[in-house]
Structure 1
Amino acid sequence: MAERTPDAPYISGIADLDAQVREAVHTSVRAMEEGLVTKLAELVLRQVMPMVSKEVAKEVDKQVKERLEDTVSAAVAPLKVEIQQMREKFEASKTSPGNVPSPAIDARFSELADQQRRSGNLVITRLSESDGETELRLHDTVLECLQITHSDVQVLSVKRVGKPSTSPSSSGTPKARKVLVQLTNVQERNKVLRGRKSLQGTRYQTVGVSEDLTKSQEELRQKAWPAFLEAKGAHKRCFWKAEKLFIDGQEHII
């Protein structure tokens, strides 16, 4: 039988300790790996998911817009066809035998076309005009006057109309020409018109802001102007809708 040396217990203890250390290290490494994987997964989710969500949202928005466009196009298509047919019938009726072209009808069509062309415009009056005024400076002044930001309303063009006046205004300075402001559509024009009350208390409170009326509309408004002044003097509720005057909710008939 082999005789056990005195170092045997020491060597056995070293082996046990080594095994325990290995197990502890293995357990720690495994825990670190699991923790690292978990943290890495969380990091990926935090960074990737918003990107995925944005892409998904963009795709959904794109599909919704495409479907809306298809729906609107399908709904508008018959109207376009009907308008075109009416136009063709009207043009044919003017040249068919026995039909005499009506100046009144032609004038009415011309008037409606002019109104449509002006529907997105505004006219500003009494906005002071300086000698060195540039188009860019006028554009900025109009935005300030109407309290328009680029995110609210898109202004297509701003320009003075008419010849410079040589006759002085009541303040002694030359009369300022009208300013024509072209917006994208009638909805944006109406949005600006609704904000006219905010000019009170500002340096633009004497400025006039109105629709861009045709010559015939201007003439009709001038005819109704005395009734407007009378109603205002009687503290009645008055407002204009193009050339039409409404007093206490009722249209004033000239």
Structure 2
Amino acid sequence: MSDLKQRLNKASRQPGHIAPADMETEVSSQGVRSEIAAYTAATAHMLRPRQPFRVAVPAYEKFTSDGSADNTETFSLTHSVVDSPATQSVVVWLDGEYYGAPDSTDFDADEIDVTDSGTGSNVHVYYISDAPATLELRKSVPASSTDSSQQVYKGNVGLVHGTKQTEQPEYLDLNETPLHAWLGTDMTLTAYIDAPYTVRFEDGDGDGTEPTNALLNVPAYIGQSEVAGLTSAIKQDMSQA
């Protein structure tokens, strides 16, 4: 372990984040713990336990605008929408065109107003909900199961979404084992969610939309190179958790 520590101390790394744009994303299944994003490290990374981890995982719904151009329509969201202090509460796309915030949002009725200059458009809606939902981040070595992976974060995003995260930030939990904060080469950081709503990072219609109000940037020191023996040492470290 002392040799490994020396190699880690000598390894160059820069402060940054692991963001959804760096990940392979999946569509969640409602009411079931589902993988929504996974990142595979090509170099040695160190997660940052004392750096705030800002969290916002939007719900996704799709509607279709009516046959009258320039008509303002009210769309009822299936799940609650919260006035988020951390990010834009609702973002809308009409087909592949970014609409931005709705004309108005009724947080009590969970409704939004949108005006489509065209007709029959796909109305893609990404919104922040305070419905109870569990977000979990786990790290794992190649081809490992949940039994040989290790949790680095778990929280109820339904509560987090309504919190002023600048005053009450979330943090990664990395105190379980000596190498808890580390990701070695070919290790994977995976995000799971168990939510009553659908989570997706792009629409299913090929319109090219995305949740610009999503916050899931994992604070990390991004390594510039591999560190020999790190992944195997982490695997052994996780077995002691």
TM-score range, shorter chain: under 0.3
Q: Which has the higher helix share?
A: 1
TM-score (norm 2): 0.23
Instruction: Choose 1 or 2 for highest CA Rg.
Output: 1
Q: Which has the higher strand share?
A: 2
TM-score (norm 1): 0.22
